[in-house]
């Protein structure tokens, strides 16, 4: 648990430095609003209880199922996917902690768990124009790994593991 917290702090400090150290006016993230840290877990009930205890919460958050939506089905590495995951969200004053337990189907969540084990999977930013943001990330050498959505919103996971050491999630209408 301490390691995850240290990684979260280090990522936040790194991103603050990254946002102020850019040498051009162009930015991949326009509003600089980091909204979420996503953590892959192998047992969401156990992890949710541990985080609830750590945060001093009386109750653990409700666990929901994430799966493709008919309006914006899940695509993983360019192919349709029936990916599913169990999610728990901890809304803090300044950020949301998202716990993700991969279930079935090919996904960035399953891939991460199998290759690296539980840990910090992504940090998320809100964007106003998903298509343009994905394009800009791609042009910067940070390709899309997975995308999908729900009703009026959508997400895209961008593989920043080469240059940023983690995945960046873009959220529109979150």
pLDDT in the model for residue 3: 54
In whole angstroms, give the CA distance from residue 25 to residue 28. Answer: 10
Give all strands (DSSP E) within 11-133, no chain letters: 34-40, 63-67, 75-76, 79-80, 84-91, 96-102, 119-126
pLDDT in the model for residue 32: 82
pLDDT in the model for residue 19: 44
Q: Which residues contact 146 (CB under 8 A, 6 or more apart)?
A: 74, 75, 76, 77, 81, 83, 107, 108, 156, 157
Residues shown for the chain: 174
Residue 61 DSSP one-character state: P
Give the H or E element holding residue 44. Answer: helix 44-55
pLDDT in the model for residue 26: 65
pLDDT by residue, tens only, the chain of 174 residues: 555 544 444 455 444 444 444 444 568 888 788 999 999 999 999 999 999 999 999 999 999 999 888 888 999 999 999 999 999 999 999 999 999 999 999 999 999 999 999 999 999 999 999 999 999 999 999 999 999 988 888 999 999 998 899 999 999 987
Would you call 85 exposed, middle or buried from its count of C-beta atoms within 10 A (0-12, 13-18, 19+)?
Answer: buried
pLDDT in the model for residue 4: 52
Q: Which residues contact 30 (CB under 8 A, 6 or more apart)?
A: 127, 128
- The pTM score is 0.83
Phi, psi of 121 (to 5 degrees): -95, -45
Give the H or E element holding residue 150. Answer: strand 144-150
What is the signed CA dihedral for 47, 48, 54, 59, rounded to 10 degrees?
A: -160
The tally of domains found in the chain comes to 1
CB count within 10 Å of CB 5 equals 10
CATH code of residue 57: 3.10.180.10
Phi, psi of 165 (to 5 degrees): 75, 10
pLDDT in the model for residue 5: 47
Per the structure, the complete domain to which residue 113 belongs is given by 2-172
pLDDT in the model for residue 173: 87
């Amino acid at each position: 648990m301490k390691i995850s917290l240290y990684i979260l702090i280090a990522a936040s400090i790194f991103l603050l430095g990254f946002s102020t150290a850019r040498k051009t006016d162009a930015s991949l993230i326009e509003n600089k609003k980091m909204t979420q840290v996503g953590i892959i877990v192998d047992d969401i009930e156990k992890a949710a209880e541990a985080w609830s205890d750590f945060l001093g919460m009386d109750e653990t958050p409700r666990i929901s199922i994430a799966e493709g939506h008919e309006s914006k089905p899940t695509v993983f590495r360019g192919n349709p996917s029936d990916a599913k995951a169990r999610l728990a969200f901890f809304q803090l004053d300044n950020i949301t902690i998202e716990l993700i337990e991969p279930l079935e189907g090919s996904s960035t969540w399953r891939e991460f768990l199998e290759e690296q084990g539980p840990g910090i999977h992504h940090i998320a930013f809100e964007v106003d124009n998903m298509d343009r943001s994905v394009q800009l990330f791609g042009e910067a050498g940070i390709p899309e790994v997975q995308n999908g959505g729900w009703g009026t919103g959508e997400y895209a996971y961008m593989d920043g593991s080469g240059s940023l050491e983690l995945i960046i999630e873009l959220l529109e209408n979150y």
